[in-house]
RNA sequence: GGUCUCGUGGCCGAGCGGUUAGGCAGAGGUCUGCAAAACCUUGUACAGCGGUUCGAAUCCGCUCGAGACCUCCA
Protein backbone atom coordinates (compact mmCIF):
# COMPACT_ATOMS: atom_id res chain seq x y z
CA UNK A 1 0.00 0.00 0.00
CA UNK A 2 1.23 3.41 -0.96
CA UNK A 3 1.34 6.01 1.76
CA UNK A 4 2.51 9.56 1.11
CA UNK A 5 0.44 11.08 3.87
CA UNK A 6 1.86 14.01 5.78
CA UNK A 7 0.27 15.20 9.02
CA UNK A 8 0.81 18.43 10.90
CA UNK A 9 1.88 17.38 14.36
CA UNK A 10 1.07 19.93 17.03
CA UNK A 11 3.87 18.46 19.11
CA UNK A 12 6.57 19.46 16.63
CA UNK A 13 4.59 22.24 14.94
CA UNK A 14 5.64 20.75 11.65
CA UNK A 15 4.24 18.54 8.98
CA UNK A 16 5.59 15.03 9.41
CA UNK A 17 5.40 11.91 7.29
CA UNK A 18 2.73 9.66 8.73
CA UNK A 19 4.31 6.42 9.80
CA UNK A 20 2.03 4.33 12.02
CA UNK A 21 3.54 2.42 14.90
CA UNK A 22 2.19 -0.87 13.59
CA UNK A 23 1.18 -0.37 10.02
CA UNK A 24 -1.31 -1.10 8.57
CA UNK A 25 -3.03 -0.63 11.92
CA UNK A 26 -3.76 2.88 13.13
CA UNK A 27 -5.02 3.88 16.55
CA UNK A 28 -6.82 7.19 16.77
CA UNK A 29 -8.34 8.83 19.82
CA UNK A 30 -10.47 11.96 19.65
CA UNK A 31 -11.94 13.90 22.55
CA UNK A 32 -15.69 13.58 22.28
CA UNK A 33 -18.54 15.62 23.66
CA UNK A 34 -19.51 16.31 27.23
CA UNK A 35 -23.13 15.30 27.13
CA UNK A 36 -24.87 17.97 29.13
CA UNK A 37 -26.39 19.87 26.24
CA UNK A 38 -27.17 19.74 22.55
CA UNK A 39 -24.36 19.76 20.03
CA UNK A 40 -23.79 23.08 18.30
CA UNK A 41 -21.93 24.12 15.17
CA UNK A 42 -18.68 24.15 17.10
CA UNK A 43 -19.03 20.46 17.84
CA UNK A 44 -19.51 19.71 14.18
CA UNK A 45 -15.99 20.83 13.37
CA UNK A 46 -13.92 18.18 15.20
CA UNK A 47 -16.49 15.54 14.41
CA UNK A 48 -16.25 16.26 10.69
CA UNK A 49 -12.50 16.92 10.74
CA UNK A 50 -11.68 13.59 12.29
CA UNK A 51 -14.36 11.86 10.29
CA UNK A 52 -12.43 13.03 7.24
CA UNK A 53 -9.20 11.71 8.75
CA UNK A 54 -10.87 8.41 9.60
CA UNK A 55 -12.40 8.05 6.15
CA UNK A 56 -9.21 8.95 4.34
CA UNK A 57 -6.97 6.66 6.38
CA UNK A 58 -9.34 3.80 5.67
CA UNK A 59 -9.55 4.74 2.03
CA UNK A 60 -5.81 4.53 1.51
CA UNK A 61 -5.75 1.13 3.14
CA UNK A 62 -5.15 1.52 6.86
CA UNK A 63 -7.03 -0.52 9.42
CA UNK A 64 -8.17 2.15 11.82
CA UNK A 65 -9.48 1.80 15.32
CA UNK A 66 -11.15 5.11 16.05
CA UNK A 67 -12.03 5.81 19.67
CA UNK A 68 -14.14 8.83 20.58
CA UNK A 69 -15.20 9.12 24.18
CA UNK A 70 -18.40 10.29 25.77
CA UNK A 71 -17.64 12.48 28.75
CA UNK A 72 -20.36 11.90 31.27
CA UNK A 73 -18.54 12.55 34.52
CA UNK A 74 -15.90 14.72 35.96
CA UNK A 75 -16.03 18.05 34.21
CA UNK A 76 -16.19 20.65 36.89
CA UNK A 77 -18.16 23.81 36.53
CA UNK A 78 -15.82 26.74 36.74
CA UNK A 79 -18.54 29.12 37.72
CA UNK A 80 -20.28 26.81 40.14
CA UNK A 81 -19.60 27.64 43.73
CA UNK A 82 -18.62 24.17 44.80
CA UNK A 83 -17.12 22.85 41.61
CA UNK A 84 -20.15 20.82 40.83
CA UNK A 85 -20.20 18.22 38.10
CA UNK A 86 -21.91 19.48 34.95
CA UNK A 87 -23.96 16.36 34.45
CA UNK A 88 -25.03 16.26 38.06
CA UNK A 89 -25.98 19.91 37.97
CA UNK A 90 -28.09 19.46 34.90
CA UNK A 91 -29.75 16.45 36.45
CA UNK A 92 -30.67 18.31 39.58
CA UNK A 93 -32.05 21.18 37.57
CA UNK A 94 -34.28 19.00 35.52
CA UNK A 95 -35.09 16.49 38.25
CA UNK A 96 -33.71 13.61 36.26
CA UNK A 97 -31.30 10.81 36.96
CA UNK A 98 -27.83 11.81 35.78
CA UNK A 99 -27.69 8.83 33.46
CA UNK A 100 -31.04 9.85 32.05
CA UNK A 101 -29.55 13.19 31.07
CA UNK A 102 -26.53 11.43 29.61
CA UNK A 103 -28.64 9.04 27.58
CA UNK A 104 -30.86 11.82 26.29
CA UNK A 105 -27.99 13.92 24.99
CA UNK A 106 -25.99 10.96 23.69
CA UNK A 107 -28.98 9.96 21.61
CA UNK A 108 -29.33 13.45 20.25
CA UNK A 109 -25.63 13.76 19.58
CA UNK A 110 -25.62 10.52 17.63
CA UNK A 111 -28.63 11.64 15.64
CA UNK A 112 -26.87 14.90 14.73
CA UNK A 113 -23.74 13.03 13.72
CA UNK A 114 -25.76 10.72 11.55
CA UNK A 115 -27.36 13.71 9.86
CA UNK A 116 -23.91 15.13 9.17
CA UNK A 117 -22.94 11.74 7.74
CA UNK A 118 -20.23 11.37 10.38
CA UNK A 119 -19.33 7.71 10.66
CA UNK A 120 -19.68 6.16 14.10
CA UNK A 121 -16.30 5.57 15.72
CA UNK A 122 -15.08 2.03 16.31
CA UNK A 123 -15.52 2.45 20.06
CA UNK A 124 -17.43 5.13 21.96
CA UNK A 125 -16.47 4.56 25.58
CA UNK A 126 -18.20 6.36 28.42
CA UNK A 127 -16.06 7.84 31.16
CA UNK A 128 -18.54 6.57 33.72
CA UNK A 129 -17.99 3.04 32.48
CA UNK A 130 -14.26 3.22 33.06
CA UNK A 131 -13.95 4.39 36.64
CA UNK A 132 -11.97 1.29 37.60
CA UNK A 133 -9.42 1.85 34.84
CA UNK A 134 -9.06 5.47 35.89
CA UNK A 135 -8.58 4.55 39.54
CA UNK A 136 -5.92 2.02 38.54
CA UNK A 137 -4.08 4.64 36.55
CA UNK A 138 -4.27 7.15 39.38
CA UNK A 139 -2.92 4.50 41.79
CA UNK A 140 -0.10 3.86 39.38
CA UNK A 141 0.81 7.54 39.28
CA UNK A 142 0.60 7.73 43.06
CA UNK A 143 2.86 4.68 43.42
CA UNK A 144 5.44 6.36 41.24
CA UNK A 145 5.42 9.33 43.56
CA UNK A 146 3.93 11.96 41.31
CA UNK A 147 0.71 12.50 43.19
CA UNK A 148 -0.14 13.88 46.58
CA UNK A 149 -3.31 13.68 48.60
CA UNK A 150 -5.15 16.52 50.25
CA UNK A 151 -8.47 15.99 52.05
CA UNK A 152 -9.29 12.87 50.08
CA UNK A 153 -8.44 14.45 46.72
CA UNK A 154 -5.38 13.50 44.75
CA UNK A 155 -3.35 15.98 42.70
CA UNK A 156 -0.66 15.57 40.08
CA UNK A 157 2.64 17.15 41.06
CA UNK A 158 3.49 19.18 37.99
CA UNK A 159 6.62 20.72 39.45
CA UNK A 160 8.10 17.32 40.22
CA UNK A 161 7.13 16.06 36.80
CA UNK A 162 8.84 19.01 35.20
CA UNK A 163 12.14 18.04 36.79
CA UNK A 164 12.37 14.99 34.54
CA UNK A 165 10.00 15.84 31.69
CA UNK A 166 9.22 19.28 30.31
CA UNK A 167 5.64 20.19 31.14
CA UNK A 168 4.04 22.24 28.40
CA UNK A 169 5.71 20.72 25.33
CA UNK A 170 2.45 20.57 23.43
CA UNK A 171 1.19 24.08 24.05
CA UNK A 172 4.62 25.69 24.16
CA UNK A 173 4.25 26.86 27.71
CA UNK A 174 7.03 27.11 30.23
CA UNK A 175 6.46 26.12 33.78
CA UNK A 176 7.87 29.39 35.10
CA UNK A 177 5.25 31.29 33.15
CA UNK A 178 2.57 28.99 34.43
CA UNK A 179 3.71 29.48 37.99
CA UNK A 180 3.58 33.22 37.54
CA UNK A 181 0.38 33.49 35.56
CA UNK A 182 -2.13 30.88 36.62
CA UNK A 183 -5.17 32.65 37.87
CA UNK A 184 -6.50 32.37 41.34
CA UNK A 185 -9.36 29.94 41.50
CA UNK A 186 -11.39 28.67 44.36
CA UNK A 187 -10.37 25.33 45.73
CA UNK A 188 -6.77 26.03 44.82
CA UNK A 189 -5.72 25.91 48.44
CA UNK A 190 -5.62 22.12 48.30
CA UNK A 191 -2.87 22.27 45.70
CA UNK A 192 0.82 22.79 46.26
CA UNK A 193 1.02 24.69 43.01
CA UNK A 194 -1.74 26.32 41.02
CA UNK A 195 -0.90 24.41 37.86
CA UNK A 196 -1.26 21.03 39.54
CA UNK A 197 -4.34 19.22 38.33
CA UNK A 198 -6.73 16.82 40.00
CA UNK A 199 -6.40 13.09 39.46
CA UNK A 200 -9.21 12.28 41.88
CA UNK A 201 -11.67 14.59 43.54
CA UNK A 202 -13.47 13.88 46.77
CA UNK A 203 -17.20 14.35 46.33
CA UNK A 204 -18.99 16.99 48.30
CA UNK A 205 -22.25 15.90 49.93
CA UNK A 206 -24.37 17.37 47.13
CA UNK A 207 -22.61 15.36 44.43
CA UNK A 208 -24.84 12.67 43.02
CA UNK A 209 -22.29 10.98 40.82
CA UNK A 210 -19.65 9.38 43.03
CA UNK A 211 -17.61 6.23 43.24
CA UNK A 212 -15.58 4.61 46.01
CA UNK A 213 -11.80 4.77 45.78
CA UNK A 214 -8.75 4.31 48.02
CA UNK A 215 -8.79 8.03 48.72
CA UNK A 216 -12.43 8.98 49.10
CA UNK A 217 -15.87 8.65 47.65
CA UNK A 218 -15.57 10.87 44.63
CA UNK A 219 -14.90 11.05 40.96
CA UNK A 220 -11.90 11.04 38.64
CA UNK A 221 -10.15 14.24 37.64
CA UNK A 222 -11.01 15.94 34.38
CA UNK A 223 -8.13 14.62 32.35
CA UNK A 224 -8.03 11.01 33.52
CA UNK A 225 -10.68 9.54 31.28
CA UNK A 226 -8.92 10.17 28.00
CA UNK A 227 -5.61 8.80 29.25
CA UNK A 228 -7.19 5.72 30.77
CA UNK A 229 -9.52 4.90 27.90
CA UNK A 230 -6.98 5.70 25.24
CA UNK A 231 -4.56 3.31 26.90
CA UNK A 232 -7.18 0.63 27.38
CA UNK A 233 -8.36 0.53 23.79
CA UNK A 234 -5.33 1.70 21.81
CA UNK A 235 -2.41 0.68 23.98
CA UNK A 236 0.24 2.57 25.89
CA UNK A 237 1.39 4.11 22.63
CA UNK A 238 -0.86 4.96 19.75
CA UNK A 239 -0.74 7.00 16.57
CA UNK A 240 -3.14 9.91 16.51
CA UNK A 241 -4.80 11.95 19.22
CA UNK A 242 -7.19 14.63 18.08
CA UNK A 243 -9.38 17.32 19.53
CA UNK A 244 -10.18 20.99 19.45
CA UNK A 245 -7.38 23.52 19.86
CA UNK A 246 -8.97 24.76 23.03
CA UNK A 247 -8.22 21.42 24.64
CA UNK A 248 -4.51 21.70 24.07
CA UNK A 249 -4.01 23.30 27.43
CA UNK A 250 -4.46 22.07 30.01
CA UNK A 251 -6.34 18.95 28.96
CA UNK A 252 -3.91 17.40 26.48
CA UNK A 253 -0.88 18.64 28.35
CA UNK A 254 -2.16 16.85 31.43
CA UNK A 255 -2.80 13.71 29.43
CA UNK A 256 0.77 13.69 28.21
CA UNK A 257 2.10 14.04 31.75
CA UNK A 258 -0.18 11.39 33.24
CA UNK A 259 0.58 8.82 30.58
CA UNK A 260 4.28 9.56 30.69
CA UNK A 261 4.40 8.78 34.38
CA UNK A 262 1.97 5.88 34.34
CA UNK A 263 3.48 4.08 31.35
CA UNK A 264 6.92 5.57 31.11
CA UNK A 265 6.49 6.71 27.55
CA UNK A 266 4.91 9.29 25.31
CA UNK A 267 1.46 7.91 24.60
CA UNK A 268 0.79 9.77 21.36
CA UNK A 269 2.83 10.03 18.20
CA UNK A 270 0.79 12.61 16.28
CA UNK A 271 -1.28 15.28 17.98
CA UNK A 272 -3.88 16.90 15.74
CA UNK A 273 -5.95 19.94 16.64
CA UNK A 274 -8.79 21.44 14.72
CA UNK A 275 -9.32 25.18 14.93
CA UNK A 276 -12.40 26.90 16.26
CA UNK A 277 -15.61 27.93 14.60
CA UNK A 278 -16.34 31.59 14.98
CA UNK A 279 -19.47 33.64 14.68
CA UNK A 280 -18.90 37.25 13.75
CA UNK A 281 -15.26 36.71 14.47
CA UNK A 282 -15.73 35.39 17.96
CA UNK A 283 -15.37 31.82 19.12
CA UNK A 284 -18.64 29.96 19.33
CA UNK A 285 -19.04 28.47 22.74
CA UNK A 286 -21.75 27.34 25.04
CA UNK A 287 -20.50 29.46 27.88
CA UNK A 288 -20.24 32.48 25.59
CA UNK A 289 -23.93 32.21 24.78
CA UNK A 290 -23.41 32.53 21.03
CA UNK A 291 -23.63 28.87 20.13
CA UNK A 292 -26.03 27.82 17.40
CA UNK A 293 -27.29 24.29 17.97
CA UNK A 294 -27.06 21.95 15.01
CA UNK A 295 -30.77 21.41 15.27
CA UNK A 296 -31.33 25.16 14.90
CA UNK A 297 -29.01 25.35 11.90
CA UNK A 298 -30.77 22.43 10.22
CA UNK A 299 -34.20 23.96 10.74
CA UNK A 300 -33.29 27.62 10.42
CA UNK A 301 -34.97 28.16 13.76
CA UNK A 302 -32.56 30.71 15.16
CA UNK A 303 -32.55 34.48 15.11
CA UNK A 304 -29.23 34.57 13.27
CA UNK A 305 -30.24 32.04 10.62
CA UNK A 306 -31.86 33.50 7.53
CA UNK A 307 -32.89 30.05 6.37
CA UNK A 308 -32.46 26.36 7.12
CA UNK A 309 -29.16 24.83 6.08
CA UNK A 310 -29.06 21.14 5.38
CA UNK A 311 -26.57 18.99 7.29
CA UNK A 312 -24.69 18.43 4.05
CA UNK A 313 -24.38 22.17 3.51
CA UNK A 314 -22.86 22.50 6.97
CA UNK A 315 -20.54 19.60 6.30
CA UNK A 316 -19.45 20.96 2.94
CA UNK A 317 -18.95 24.41 4.41
CA UNK A 318 -16.67 23.01 7.08
CA UNK A 319 -14.72 20.95 4.54
CA UNK A 320 -14.15 24.03 2.40
CA UNK A 321 -11.78 25.31 5.06
CA UNK A 322 -8.57 23.66 6.15
CA UNK A 323 -9.11 22.18 9.61
CA UNK A 324 -6.34 24.23 11.23
CA UNK A 325 -7.87 27.55 10.19
CA UNK A 326 -10.63 29.33 12.02
CA UNK A 327 -13.89 29.27 10.16
CA UNK A 328 -16.37 32.11 10.33
CA UNK A 329 -20.06 31.36 9.96
CA UNK A 330 -22.39 33.71 8.17
CA UNK A 331 -25.54 33.33 6.15
CA UNK A 332 -23.83 34.58 3.03
CA UNK A 333 -21.04 32.02 3.35
CA UNK A 334 -23.45 29.18 4.05
CA UNK A 335 -25.61 30.10 1.08
CA UNK A 336 -22.52 30.05 -1.12
CA UNK A 337 -21.65 26.61 0.23
CA UNK A 338 -25.16 25.37 -0.43
CA UNK A 339 -24.98 26.36 -4.08
CA UNK A 340 -21.47 25.05 -4.55
CA UNK A 341 -22.38 21.71 -3.03
CA UNK A 342 -25.39 21.47 -5.30
CA UNK A 343 -23.20 22.05 -8.33
CA UNK A 344 -20.71 19.43 -7.23
CA UNK A 345 -23.34 16.79 -6.53
CA UNK A 346 -25.19 17.44 -9.78
CA UNK A 347 -22.01 17.04 -11.78
CA UNK A 348 -21.27 13.82 -9.93
CA UNK A 349 -24.64 12.56 -11.13
CA UNK A 350 -24.01 13.83 -14.62
CA UNK A 351 -20.93 11.62 -15.03
CA UNK A 352 -23.22 8.63 -15.39
CA UNK A 353 -24.97 10.20 -18.40
CA UNK A 354 -21.86 11.20 -20.32
CA UNK A 355 -21.55 9.95 -23.85
CA UNK A 356 -18.26 8.35 -24.70
CA UNK A 357 -16.09 10.10 -27.21
CA UNK A 358 -13.21 9.20 -29.50
CA UNK A 359 -10.69 11.41 -27.77
CA UNK A 360 -10.11 12.90 -24.35
CA UNK A 361 -9.79 16.64 -23.94
CA UNK A 362 -8.94 16.46 -20.26
CA UNK A 363 -6.34 14.63 -18.23
CA UNK A 364 -8.35 12.75 -15.67
CA UNK A 365 -5.41 10.84 -14.25
CA UNK A 366 -3.70 14.12 -13.45
CA UNK A 367 -6.84 15.39 -11.73
CA UNK A 368 -6.90 12.23 -9.66
CA UNK A 369 -3.26 12.63 -8.69
CA UNK A 370 -3.92 16.21 -7.62
CA UNK A 371 -6.83 15.13 -5.44
CA UNK A 372 -4.69 12.57 -3.65
CA UNK A 373 -1.79 14.99 -3.35
CA UNK A 374 -4.06 17.51 -1.65
CA UNK A 375 -5.42 14.99 0.81
CA UNK A 376 -1.96 13.65 1.52
CA UNK A 377 -0.89 17.16 2.45
CA UNK A 378 -2.40 17.20 5.92
CA UNK A 379 -5.93 16.51 4.71
CA UNK A 380 -6.25 19.64 2.62
CA UNK A 381 -9.92 19.31 1.80
CA UNK A 382 -10.33 22.82 0.32
CA UNK A 383 -7.72 22.10 -2.33
CA UNK A 384 -9.26 18.72 -2.96
CA UNK A 385 -12.61 20.37 -3.47
CA UNK A 386 -11.11 23.03 -5.75
CA UNK A 387 -9.69 20.23 -7.90
CA UNK A 388 -13.03 18.50 -7.98
CA UNK A 389 -14.62 21.73 -9.19
CA UNK A 390 -12.17 21.87 -12.07
CA UNK A 391 -13.48 18.45 -12.97
CA UNK A 392 -17.05 19.68 -12.62
CA UNK A 393 -16.46 22.17 -15.40
CA UNK A 394 -15.05 19.42 -17.59
CA UNK A 395 -17.94 17.09 -16.86
CA UNK A 396 -20.50 19.75 -17.72
CA UNK A 397 -18.75 20.72 -20.86
CA UNK A 398 -18.59 17.12 -22.05
CA UNK A 399 -22.26 16.84 -21.18
CA UNK A 400 -22.90 19.92 -23.32
CA UNK A 401 -21.15 18.28 -26.22
CA UNK A 402 -18.42 20.90 -26.21
CA UNK A 403 -15.67 18.49 -25.26
CA UNK A 404 -15.22 14.76 -25.21
CA UNK A 405 -13.82 12.00 -23.05
CA UNK A 406 -12.91 8.45 -23.88
CA UNK A 407 -14.65 5.57 -22.22
CA UNK A 408 -11.80 4.74 -19.85
CA UNK A 409 -11.57 8.36 -18.72
CA UNK A 410 -15.27 8.46 -17.96
CA UNK A 411 -14.84 5.30 -15.93
CA UNK A 412 -11.93 6.91 -14.12
CA UNK A 413 -14.09 9.94 -13.38
CA UNK A 414 -16.84 7.75 -11.98
CA UNK A 415 -14.44 6.09 -9.58
CA UNK A 416 -12.73 9.35 -8.71
CA UNK A 417 -15.91 11.21 -7.83
CA UNK A 418 -17.44 8.25 -6.09
CA UNK A 419 -14.32 7.87 -3.95
CA UNK A 420 -13.78 11.51 -3.16
CA UNK A 421 -17.24 13.02 -2.99
CA UNK A 422 -18.98 10.18 -1.22
CA UNK A 423 -16.37 8.02 0.52
CA UNK A 424 -13.71 10.52 1.52
CA UNK A 425 -15.49 13.85 1.88
CA UNK A 426 -18.54 11.98 3.10
CA UNK A 427 -21.03 14.04 1.14
CA UNK A 428 -24.31 12.66 -0.05
CA UNK A 429 -27.33 13.78 -1.97
CA UNK A 430 -30.28 14.86 0.08
CA UNK A 431 -32.97 12.25 0.00
CA UNK A 432 -36.10 13.40 -1.69
CA UNK A 433 -39.52 11.80 -1.60
CA UNK A 434 -40.56 8.90 0.56
CA UNK A 435 -42.09 5.60 -0.36
CA UNK A 436 -44.46 6.78 -3.09
CA UNK A 437 -41.80 7.59 -5.66
CA UNK A 438 -43.51 5.50 -8.30
CA UNK A 439 -46.72 7.44 -7.91
CA UNK A 440 -45.04 10.83 -7.99
CA UNK A 441 -42.99 9.75 -10.96
CA UNK A 442 -46.12 8.79 -12.85
CA UNK A 443 -47.98 11.98 -12.04
CA UNK A 444 -45.01 14.11 -12.99
CA UNK A 445 -44.58 12.32 -16.27
CA UNK A 446 -48.21 13.02 -17.13
CA UNK A 447 -47.84 16.69 -16.24
CA UNK A 448 -44.68 17.01 -18.29
CA UNK A 449 -46.42 15.34 -21.23
CA UNK A 450 -49.24 17.90 -21.03
CA UNK A 451 -46.72 20.71 -20.93
CA UNK A 452 -44.87 19.26 -23.88
CA UNK A 453 -48.10 19.28 -25.88
CA UNK A 454 -48.73 22.87 -24.87
CA UNK A 455 -45.27 23.82 -26.01
CA UNK A 456 -45.73 22.06 -29.33
CA UNK A 457 -48.88 24.12 -29.81
CA UNK A 458 -46.91 27.21 -28.80
CA UNK A 459 -49.29 27.68 -25.91
CA UNK A 460 -46.69 29.41 -23.78
CA UNK A 461 -49.26 30.58 -21.24
CA UNK A 462 -50.21 27.03 -20.36
CA UNK A 463 -46.62 25.82 -20.40
CA UNK A 464 -45.49 28.62 -18.12
CA UNK A 465 -48.45 28.16 -15.82
CA UNK A 466 -47.52 24.52 -15.28
CA UNK A 467 -43.93 25.48 -14.59
CA UNK A 468 -44.86 28.32 -12.25
CA UNK A 469 -47.41 26.33 -10.30
CA UNK A 470 -44.98 23.47 -9.82
CA UNK A 471 -42.34 25.94 -8.76
CA UNK A 472 -44.61 26.97 -5.91
CA UNK A 473 -44.43 23.36 -4.75
CA UNK A 474 -40.63 23.53 -4.97
CA UNK A 475 -40.61 21.40 -8.09
CA UNK A 476 -38.25 22.86 -10.62
CA UNK A 477 -38.71 22.19 -14.33
CA UNK A 478 -35.81 22.48 -16.70
CA UNK A 479 -36.07 22.25 -20.44
CA UNK A 480 -33.14 20.53 -22.03
CA UNK A 481 -32.60 19.51 -25.59
CA UNK A 482 -33.57 15.94 -24.65
CA UNK A 483 -36.85 17.02 -23.07
CA UNK A 484 -37.90 18.40 -19.72
CA UNK A 485 -36.61 17.22 -16.37
CA UNK A 486 -37.84 17.94 -12.89
CA UNK A 487 -36.43 17.91 -9.40
CA UNK A 488 -37.60 18.79 -5.95
CA UNK A 489 -35.76 21.73 -4.52
CA UNK A 490 -34.96 21.70 -0.81
C1' G B 1 -0.14 40.77 32.21
C1' G B 2 2.06 36.01 29.91
C1' U B 3 2.03 32.38 25.63
C1' C B 4 0.48 31.86 20.68
C1' U B 5 -2.20 32.48 16.05
C1' C B 6 -4.13 35.36 12.31
C1' G B 7 -5.13 39.86 9.04
C1' U B 8 -5.95 37.72 1.10
C1' G B 9 -10.56 40.81 -4.16
C1' G B 10 -18.21 42.17 -2.49
C1' C B 11 -18.51 37.32 0.85
C1' C B 12 -16.24 32.43 2.30
C1' G B 13 -11.58 30.50 1.70
C1' A B 14 -6.57 28.07 -0.48
C1' G B 15 -1.63 29.37 -1.39
C1' C B 16 3.33 30.80 2.10
C1' G B 17 9.69 33.26 -2.39
C1' G B 18 8.81 33.69 -9.24
C1' U B 19 2.90 30.09 -12.71
C1' U B 20 -5.23 31.17 -12.85
C1' A B 21 -6.51 28.50 -6.38
C1' G B 22 -11.64 27.20 -5.90
C1' G B 23 -16.79 28.32 -4.50
C1' C B 24 -20.65 32.14 -4.11
C1' A B 25 -22.16 36.95 -5.69
C1' G B 26 -21.56 40.74 -9.91
C1' A B 27 -20.85 42.02 -15.42
C1' G B 28 -20.98 40.54 -20.75
C1' G B 29 -21.96 36.53 -24.16
C1' U B 30 -23.77 31.42 -26.18
C1' C B 31 -28.09 28.32 -25.81
C1' U B 32 -33.65 28.84 -25.00
C1' G B 33 -40.46 30.73 -27.08
C1' C B 34 -39.24 32.91 -22.22
C1' A B 35 -36.85 31.01 -18.06
C1' A B 36 -33.72 27.74 -15.36
C1' A B 37 -29.42 24.97 -15.80
C1' A B 38 -24.94 24.58 -18.36
C1' C B 39 -20.79 26.58 -21.06
C1' C B 40 -17.44 30.80 -22.55
C1' U B 41 -15.37 35.63 -21.23
C1' U B 42 -14.55 39.06 -17.22
C1' G B 43 -12.04 40.86 -11.50
C1' U B 44 -5.54 41.29 -10.75
C1' A B 45 -6.57 40.98 -4.02
C1' C B 46 -2.99 39.93 -0.32
C1' A B 47 -3.75 45.50 6.93
C1' G B 48 0.15 49.68 7.03
C1' C B 49 5.37 51.11 7.01
C1' G B 50 10.35 49.69 6.50
C1' G B 51 14.08 45.77 5.35
C1' U B 52 16.31 41.11 2.97
C1' U B 53 16.20 39.43 -2.29
C1' C B 54 17.21 39.72 -9.26
C1' G B 55 12.12 38.92 -7.45
C1' A B 56 7.57 38.85 -1.47
C1' A B 57 0.86 38.00 -0.28
C1' U B 58 4.75 34.36 0.92
C1' C B 59 11.11 35.68 4.81
C1' C B 60 12.68 39.60 8.86
C1' G B 61 11.43 44.07 11.95
C1' C B 62 8.04 47.67 13.60
C1' U B 63 2.94 49.71 13.77
C1' C B 64 -2.24 48.99 13.71
C1' G B 65 -6.29 45.48 14.09
C1' A B 66 -8.65 40.72 15.31
C1' G B 67 -8.79 36.13 17.78
C1' A B 68 -7.35 31.79 20.92
C1' C B 69 -5.20 29.82 25.33
C1' C B 70 -3.58 30.86 30.44
C1' U B 71 -10.42 28.38 33.98
C1' C B 72 -15.07 24.06 32.04
C1' C B 73 -15.09 24.56 26.72
C1' A B 74 -14.93 21.17 20.19
Peptide bond connecting A11 to the previous residue in cis, omega within 30 degrees of 0: no
**Residue A246 CA to B16 C1' — how many Å?**
25
Rounded mean pLDDT of A27-54? Answer: 94
Checking if the pLDDT of A48 tops 70, the result is yes
Checking if the pLDDT of A389 tops 80, the result is yes
Query: Per mean pLDDT, which range of A271-285, A418-432, A471-485 is the poorest?
Result: A471-485
**Residue A442 CA to B31 C1' — how many Å?**
30
Give Rg (Cα) of chain A: 27
Contacts of A267 (CB under 8 A, 6+ apart): A227, A230, A231, A236, A237, A238, A241, A255, A256, A259, A260
Report yes or no: A57 and A64 within 8 Å, Cβ to Cβ: yes
Chain B positions under 7 Å from a protein CB?
1-4, 10-15, 21-25, 31-40, 66-74
**Residue A268 CA to B61 C1' — how many Å?**
37
**Residue A36 CA to B8 C1' — how many Å?**
39
Query: Per mean pLDDT, which range of A208-212, A302-306, A381-385, A441-445 is the poorest?
Result: A441-445
Residue A258: C-alpha distances to residues A5, A85, A161, A165, A411 (Å): 29, 22, 9, 11, 52
Of A7 and A73, the one with more pLDDT:
A7
Checking if the pLDDT of A184 tops 60, the result is no
Over residues A243-259, the pLDDT tens digits come to 999 999 999 999 999 99
**pTM of the predicted model, to two decimals?**
0.92
pLDDT of residue A80: 41
**Residue A386 CA to B42 C1' — how many Å?**
20
Over residues A411-446, the pLDDT tens digits come to 999 999 999 999 999 999 875 544 556 788 888 888
Considering all nucleic acid strands, name the nucleotide whose C1' atom is nearest to the C-alpha of residue A282.
Answer: B67
3-state DSSP assignment of residue A264: coil
Checking if the pLDDT of A78 tops 60, the result is no
Considering all nucleic acid strands, name the nucleotide whose C1' atom is nearest to the C-alpha of residue A288.
Answer: B73
Considering all nucleic acid strands, name the nucleotide whose C1' atom is nearest to the C-alpha of residue A390.
Answer: B22
Considering all nucleic acid strands, name the nucleotide whose C1' atom is nearest to the C-alpha of residue A334.
Answer: B12
Tell me: ipTM over 0.90: yes
Residues of chain A above pLDDT 70, percent = 94
Checking if the pLDDT of A79 tops 90, the result is no
Over residues A89-140, the pLDDT tens digits come to 777 777 778 888 899 999 999 999 999 999 999 999 999 999 999 999 999 9
Maximum CA extent, chain A:
92
Amino acid sequence: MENNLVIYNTLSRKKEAFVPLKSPFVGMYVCGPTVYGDAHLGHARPAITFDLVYRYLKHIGFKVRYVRNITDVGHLEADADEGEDKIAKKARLEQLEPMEVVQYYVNRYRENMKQLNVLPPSIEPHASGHIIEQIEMVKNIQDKGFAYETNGSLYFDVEKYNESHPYGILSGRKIEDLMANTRELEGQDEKKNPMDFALWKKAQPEHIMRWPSPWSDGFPGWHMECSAMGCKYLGEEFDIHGGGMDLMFPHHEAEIAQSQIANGKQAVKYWMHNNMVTLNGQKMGKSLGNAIDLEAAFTGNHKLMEQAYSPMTIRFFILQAQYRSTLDFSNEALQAAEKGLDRLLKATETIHNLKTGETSDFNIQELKDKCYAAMNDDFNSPITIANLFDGVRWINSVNDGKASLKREDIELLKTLYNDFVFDILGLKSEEVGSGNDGLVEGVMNTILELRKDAKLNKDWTAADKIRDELAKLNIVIKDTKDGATWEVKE
